[in-house]
Structure 1
Amino acid sequence: MSQPSSVNPAPLAEADTDSSAAPSLFDYHNIDQKLIQNIVYDALVWSTLHCLLVGDKSVQRSGTVPGVGLVHLSFCLLPGPFPESHWKQACELAPIFNQFVDRVSLDGKYLQESLARTKNADEFTSRLLDIHSKMLQINKKEDIRLAIMRSDYMVDEKTKSLLQIEMNTISTSFALMGTLVTGLHKSLISQYGNILGLDPNRIPANNAVDQAAEALAKGWSEYNNPRAAILVVVQVEERNMYEQHYISALLRDKYPFLITYNYEVDQQGEILPDGTLSVDGQPVSVVYFRAGYTPKDYPSESEWRARLLMEQSSAIKCPSISYHLVGTKKIQQELAKPGVLERFVENKDHVAKLRSCFAGLWSLEDSDIVKKAIENPELFVMKPQREGGGNNIYGNDLKESLLKLQESGSEEDAAYILMQRIFPATFPAILVRDGNWSTDHVISEAGIFSTYLSFSYGMVSDYQMYLYKFGLNTMKCWCIWCSNLKQYSTILKNVNKVRIHNVTDSEKCPFPSFYEPSLFTLFSESLTIMYLFNYHRLDQQLLHTVAYDALVWSSLHGLVVGDSSVQRSGTVPGVGLVHAPIALLPTPFPQKQWRQASELAPIFNELVDRVSLDTDFLQHSLSRTKEADEFTSRLLDIHSNMLQINKKEEIRLGLHRSDYMLDEKTNSLLQIELNTIASSFAGLSSLVTELHRYILSRHGKLLGLDSKSIGANDAVIQTAEALAKAWSEYNNPRAVIMIIVQAEERNMYDQHLVCALFNTHNITSIRKTLAEVDEEGEILPDGTLCVDGQQISVIYFRAGYTPVDYPSESEWKARLLMEQSSAIKCPSISYHLAGSKKIQQELAKPGVLERFLENKEDIAKLRKCFAGLWSLDDSNIVAQAIEKPELFVMKPQREGGGNNIYGDDVRKTLQKLQKSGSQEDAAYILMQRIFPAISATVLMRKGCWSKDHAISELGVFGTYLRNKDKVIINKQSGYLMRTKVSSSDEGGVAAGFAVLDSVYLT
């Protein structure tokens, strides 16, 4: 992670854990601006990789289609102070409130009487009470009672008291986001704590999301029907959907036999004779409400019928209608009356603890209080019978509302309560929203999560978790403390009213619970086996379900890129995110050729190293190309400068990728190119392999595919380990790894996935453009490269491979400066040149490989994979290419997608070069065009899937590290599978031509 060269640290202070004045000690506004920018950048990257994400409200589909329109959750950059005594008090209250809510829920008469006036004034409360009354009439008992609750508090600055704001008993959200924000804060303070004067151990541990999932699982277990599922009731549009998916993922990870569903309950639900709730033929054990708490969730009678149906069933409701009513504002006010607590709680100590946290709460029937509120509205909050934010009334609006109610003389006042306004201490904070940060003074609100599971013969669990959130005026930034969690590869199966479209089909996708498999008989082991994996013949509904699963998984695990339609998505992490383009299911690939490609990796690694040392070969082979191509000329000039000063690269690091296609006619594995600079997608390709394994673990039986047949892929781990090993060999623990990046990079998360693993090696990395290196870099007398005051051990190029990366002399000066330094270059200028198209063509000439390799078997293996490669000096080949251009590809001296020339353009370009009579032909080579087998596949882009006929390209990563005569690493290190529409000539993912895929070994 990036660190500044100089900082102005926040002042250190003794922790006054018992004083509400403590926030003034955490003056984050005095932190050096550059340090803030670095911390913000790291925080945004962390948020993206760990799914601290929500749907962007400016993107229409972000609340219905996973994986599109993603943006980081708004958060405080650094944690705020909270008095430890009040923290302990709030935690101790959680189990007391749990039992209290349970006791009140069992007193049906009390609930009905307390809400009688409110029922006449508020239609929503009336409908809830009607359902409650029907349950009383049929004597419906909830033998198993489950709740996931959250009690919210503020610390009043004047009285130093912890006062409750409200008790939430339905759809208590942000258990995940709370967990993740605390994980973020622990990560940031572990890295920057010494500079900031903060200790990550002062952030309490919290497992809110784990406990929520565990409570649901225990409820499911107590129901004692292994065939039953957990039903998640959701809103039609939900931009916080990833929290719900994450909880379901935890359930599936710990209980793989447990299934979670979302359905249209009214249309698909029924109660069986034994009381079991069945939805679309699936028995339901637990109903987990993430909707149903607001009138907007009941736009028609259909939703009310569904709520009644669920309450009448034997399924465990989380919460039941009784628990729901206990959490209403009016009941909160009624329970605060003198003597009421004693009706439900026998323990006097518990009664005292509860009463100590109650703020002033009054009915609007209290004329004296109403009069005071009109006179001093700033001292009160007016609350309606509503859950969720944005409903309360403050200040002058409160005064006008009360006067209006007095004038009307109706019973509408029973729909509201008055509450003492709490004034917590303010403290300076840094808020991060939409990729931007700002400083402001904020107030804090602590929410304590708790879980409660009880049944007629005893209590099963009673846990406390916590949430910590900050509010600023009417805006809220969520800032929660808890321990970091690993990502889990499991998600919801079906989601209610979610639209995922085929590009040719706009019908709403249904989600049935069972499918008939569309399988085929494998009758051949030839390469044409690709045709047997005809994913186009799969059931449409199954494809919809698999597509949804894939989109959710991608969002939860950082399989994302910047959306090209969002301007800042290539420069600011955490904004304008969309799932990476992917193949929905893996592509078959023969094991024989897979092993061949893997075995070739270390041989090619050694070949590149040998070629890089033969300076005469590089200079001579590229001499004509230098005259024809300005970019190659500049690279060769730097190479010549290194020769003149006798610069030796004693430690040489290569992260290569050799790309292949399977020629259908010859059944041969043929090399397309060897990449020696900025070999991308180690990070995202590793995730795609995990995604496909997950998909097949869930749907493999229906698809006739086995997840174990997907080729192992640890490319991101191997890449990070090679860089870390090189850093170690450099032997300067104060030095950092520098990543050379483009100024705008929508594939930045592929890079960040690699850099995130540096933390396991205690290595710091920084990101710089070539222009920044020129501006900030210098070489110390001992040859050490220093950039912005930091010594550099390893330079990892993810840019610098195309002329576009060198818009001015500044970038060329930076490249020369780095080559002149003692830093390990990945790649060095020699390695870079060894991967050029012209060198690839030269190496394919008869007898050339023998110049660099002694092992005849290795030479034979390399030569076997060479496609036809020719210089444009070969007039016979040029004539053939003009006559039959469809059999050739014309390649310039360029890396990255979108540069090659195909079809009739080959003929036109060759004829043009012949007429010009210039040396420009030396800037190109001709290559045999490979024709791989075509497979029926399903491609996913921007939340949409489409069926297409496609061809695939396998890239095999290789890592190589050598220190003088000692080879430290030389191995195959994962792979990249790219699939593109068969009608497309180019195959770059970043260039928009292909999608990421994985290998299914046959």
Structure 2
Amino acid sequence: MGKDQACANMPPSPPSKHQLDELIREINQWAITNGLTMYPPKFEANPSSASVSPVTVYPTPIPKKCYDEAVDIQPVFNELYARITQDMAHSDSFLHKETEAMALSDPEFTGRLWSLYLETSKIAANRKQALKLGIFRSDYLIDKKNDNDQIKQVEFNTVSVSFAGLSGKIDRLHTFLNKANKYDIKGPYYNESNMIVSESGFLLSKALAKAVESYKLQQKISASNDPIVAFIVQRNERNVFDQKILELNLLDKFNVKSIRLTFDDVHEKLFIDNETGKLYVKDSKQEIAVVYYRTGYTTTDYTSEKDWEARLFLEKSFAIKAPDLLTQLSGSKKIQQLLTDGNVLDKYTSTSEQKDSLLKTFVKIYPLDDTALGKEGKRLALTDPLKYVLKPQREGGGNNVYKENIPGFLKSIEERHWDAYILMELIEPELNKDNVILRDNKPYNEAIISELGIYGCILFDDKEVLVNEFSGSLLRSKFNTSNEGGVAAGFGCLDSIILY
């Protein structure tokens, strides 16, 4: 076996303690120098207390054919979810009615978002912003069933997709370690042409800038009065530096300014012009072209009625939303389940080739309602749960119920609430026993599994698509013993891709 072929499939031989200590030192120094960082829990009293993000020591091998398939299909997914969003706006549509039913089964979150949408639907047509910006991420595991590598979709994220900024950082860290002979003193260990360096931090900024440009053209705004982007963020946000990369790129690459606001700040710092519906910053009178949500994706982001009022206030404005309420709702687990039905998918795809390529990425997903498929889902959940995961309409990690825990969980809640969940077939990815996770400066050498994320951006209205692009990649890994995978939630780490 030649060196390049060997290197594509495995990291260097297990390092000695001295070699690993040297790698850890290099990783920490590179990460701090280049901003591969996040805040630790409870950092509020000391905003200078950033720490190195959890990372792997080595890149992780991913089959090239799987990576290429995920990249190629992303624009198809982008357009699919744009069409779903458009269809949900029609009160007589199938998905409108399905979302109404979903709102009833999950009143504390999906129901609240749906009620906000119904409130915004009362706004006069000339006060409504037609443009919508989808900043998406489709997450996959590579299924090893039948010895055939195949990407299988874990979920499709339509709101607050994270780590686009830090993804390129971890890729560059591993590229540096390889090029600087830190893995192998004899020379680069990996073939650099097989190492993926994501440009997602630039490409998401590019999409936001394109939305600002489209807003300016729509409103005939001169260059001397450039509108800005409002990042709506969580209180005490730990993942600030990932977001800051997008902010800095917006300014440095596209000359677009931005402002960071929590839901609290929305009430204090913004106002809407009564005649036009346009959104402004009170003190500076700066016009806001795009509202970009990095919060608002789960119940804990809404700590009081004031937070829901802030979301409604923003949604009623004329700014382009990334995403608006319907686009966010299109990413619900219920919609994901419905799309596994080829007859449903027929309504939202242009060709049989598109439909078939999408279906190939799906695993079996069951509702837990009173349909025939839902009754089968209930039976499997109670009698054969080891092959499945139970998922609610939530994002952010820590919400799913796995395998043997499913029957007891379902029996602990009233059956009328079961249809707020979907039952999803578990994917069987390959274990990687050769990598090392570095978290809080401690190395962990346990078997890991890796999740491939593909970013995509689409700017659209009811009549046309202005932008539809693949926008970079992300790899996150976690211990095989951990069911959840969120990095910020404490379950996983950032990783990079070496193709083979």
- TM-score of the superposed pair, with normalisation by structure 2: 0.90
In 2, are the aligned partners of 1:958 and 1:973 still within 8 Å (CA)?
yes
* One-letter identity of the residue aligned with 2:155: E
Q: Deviations over 1:405-444 (max 9, x none)?
A: xxxxxxxxxxxxxxxxxxxxxxxxxxxxxxxxxxxxxxxx
Q: Which residue of 2 aligns with 1:810?
A: 306
Which of 229, 250, 260 in structure 2 is aligned with 1:767? 260
What amino acid sits opposite 1:552 in the alignment?
Q
Cα drift, residue 639 of structure 1: 1.6
Q: Please name the residue that 2:115 is paired with.
A: 637
Structure 1 residue 846 and structure 2 residue 342: aligned? Answer: yes
* 1:138-149 alignment runs, 5 A limit: none
Q: 1:552 aligns with which of 14, 29, 44?
A: 29
Is 1:604 aligned to residue 77 of structure 2?
yes
Deviations 1:513-565 (A, max 9, x none): xxxxxx98968xxxxx99x5255623443322222211111011011111225
Residue aligned with 1:801, SS: coil
Counterpart position of 2:328: 832
Structure 2 residue identity aligned to 1:588:
P
Contact preservation (8 Å) 1:534, 1:935: no
Equivalent position to 1:904, from 404, 409, 412: 404
- The corresponding residue for 1:590 is 63
CA distance in 1, matches of 2:142, 2:368: 25
Q: Is the 8 A contact 2:389 2:400 kept in 1?
A: yes
3-state SS of paired residue (2:45): helix
Report what 1:787 is aligned to.
Answer: 281
Deviation (angstroms), 1:848:
0.8
Is the 8 Å Cα contact of residues 535 and 938 (structure 1) preserved in structure 2?
Answer: no
List gaps (5 residues or longer) in structure 2: none
Distance 1:972-1:608 versus aligned 2 partners, 3 A rule: same
What is the DSSP-based 3-state SS (H/G/I as helix, E as strand, rest coil) of the residue aligned with 1:568?
Answer: coil
- Which of 440, 445, 452 is equivalent to 1:954? 452
Post-superposition shift, 1:696?
Answer: 1.2
Write the distance in 2 (CA, Å) between the matches of 1:802 and 1:620: 22
- Mapped partners of 1:606, 1:769: distance in 2: 30
Amino acid in structure 1 at the alignment position of 2:117: H
Secondary structure of 2:445 counterpart? strand
Partner of residue 436 from structure 2, selected from 938, 949, 966: 938
User: In 2 relative to 1, CA 623–590 (structure 1 residues): closer, same or farther, beyond 3 Å?
Assistant: same
Q: 2:208 aligns with which of 705, 718, 723?
A: 723
CA distance in 1, matches of 2:95, 2:313: 21
Who is 1:47 aligned against?
none
SS in structure 1 opposite 2:349? coil
Alignment of 1:45-444 (within 5 A): none
1:691-719 Cα distance to aligned partner (Å, 9 max, x none): 11111112355573222211131000001
Deviation sequence 1:439-497 (CA, Å, 0-9, x none): xxxxxxxxxxxxxxxxxxxxxxxxxxxxxxxxxxxxxxxxxxxxxxxxxxxxxxxxxxx
Q: 2:150 matched to 1:668?
A: yes
* Other structure's SS at 1:704 match: coil
Q: Which has the higher contact order (CA 8 A, sep 6+)?
A: 2
Please tell me whether Structure 1 or Structure 2 has the larger radius of gyration of its CA atoms: 1
CA contact (8 A) 1:621 1:842 kept: no
Q: Which residue of 1 aligns with 2:133?
A: 653
Instruction: Work out the CA distance in 1 between the residues paired with 2:13 and 2:493.
Output: 17
Distance 1:711 1:933 in 2: 20
Partner Cα distance (2:75, 2:453) in 1: 14
Please give the alpha-carbon distance, in whole angstroms, between the structure 2 residues aligned to 1:965 and 1:876.
40
CA distance in 1, matches of 2:232, 2:464: 27
1:576 to 19, 33, 49: 49
Q: Residue 736 of structure 1 corresponds to which residue in structure 2?
A: 228
Question: Counterparts of 2:51 and 2:353 in 1: how far apart (Å)?
Answer: 46
Q: Which residue of the partner structure matches residue 710 of structure 1?
A: 195
Q: Which of 459, 472, 476 does residue 978 from structure 1 map onto?
A: 476
One-letter amino acid matched to 2:66: Q
Query: Aligned in 2, Cα 1:869/1:671: closer, same or farther, shift over 3 Å?
Result: same
Change in Cα spacing, 1:618 to 1:790, as seen in structure 2 (3 Å) is farther
- What is the CA–CA distance in structure 2 between the aligned matches of 1:618 and 1:738, rounded to whole Å? 30
User: Are residues 536 and 634 of structure 1, via their aligned partners in 2, closer, same or farther at CA, if it must alter by over 3 Å?
Assistant: farther
SS of equivalent to 1:604? helix
Q: Residue 555 of structure 1 aligns to a residue in which SS?
A: helix
How far is the alpha carbon of 1:645 from its aligned partner?
Answer: 3.3
- TM-superposed CA distance for 1:960, in Å, is 1.1
Aligned-pair CA distance for 1:802: 1.0
* Aligned-pair CA distance for 1:757: 1.0
Q: 1:958 to 1:806 in 2, by over 3 A?
A: same
**Structure 2 partner of 1:299:** none
Q: Which runs of 5+ in 1 are unaligned?
A: 1-518, 524-528
Distance 2:269 2:178 in 1: 49
Q: Deviations over 1:276-316 (max 9, x none)?
A: xxxxxxxxxxxxxxxxxxxxxxxxxxxxxxxxxxxxxxxxx
Deviations 1:813-850 (A, max 9, x none): 11112111110000011110001111111122231111
State whether residues 661 and 952 of structure 1, in contact with CA within 8 Å, keep that contact through their aligned partners in structure 2: yes
Give secondary structure in 1 for the equivalent of 2:209.
helix
Structure 1, residues 567-595: CA drift from partner, whole Å, max 9, x if none?
Answer: 435xx3xx111111101111000000000
Q: TM-score, normalised by structure 1?
A: 0.46
The alpha-carbon deviation at position 803 of structure 1 amounts to 0.9
- Alignment RMSD: 2.1
CA contact (8 A) 1:536 1:947 kept: no
- CA gap of 1:999–1:632, structure 2 versus 1, over 3 A, is same
Aligned length: 471
Distance 2:178 2:324 in 1: 41
Partners of 2:412 and 2:40 in 1: CA distance: 38
Following superposition, the deviation at residue 861 of structure 1 comes to 0.8
Do the aligned partners of residues 833 and 565 (structure 1) sit closer, same or farther apart at CA in structure 2, a change above 3 Å counting? closer
* Secondary structure in structure 2 of the residue aligned to 1:904: helix
- Mapped partners of 1:534, 1:758: distance in 2: 36
Give the 3 Å change call, closer, same or farther, for CA 704–840 of structure 1 in structure 2: same
Determine the C-alpha separation between the residues in 2 that align with 1:643 and 1:865: 34
Match of 2:172 in 1: 690
The whole-number CA distance in structure 2 between the counterparts of 1:759 and 1:735 is 12
Structure 1 counterpart of 2:491, which letter?
F
Judge conservation of contact 2:11–2:58 (CA < 8 Å) in 1: no
* Structure 1 counterpart of 2:487: 989
Deviation of 1:687 (Å): 0.6
Kindly indicate whether the alpha-carbon contact (under 8 Å) linking 2:342 and 2:355 is maintained by their aligned counterparts in 1: no
Between the aligned partners of 1:671 and 1:736, the Cα distance in structure 2 is 34
Letter in 1 for 2:115: D
Residue by residue, what CA displacement relative to the aligned partner does 1:949-993 show, whole Å, maximum 9, x if unpaired? 100000100011235644332111111100000100000000000
* 1: CA distance, partners of 2:329 / 2:4: 48
Letter in 1 for 2:36: L
CA-CA distance at 1:638 after TM superposition: 1.6
Give 1:677's match in structure 2, choosing from 118, 140, 159. Answer: 159
Note the 1:370-519 alignment, pairs <5 A: none
User: What residue in structure 1 maps to residue 467 of structure 2?
Assistant: 969
Instruction: For 1:677, give the aligned amino acid.
Output: V
- Give the Cα–Cα distance (whole angstroms) in 1 for the partners of residues 331 and 452 of structure 2: 17
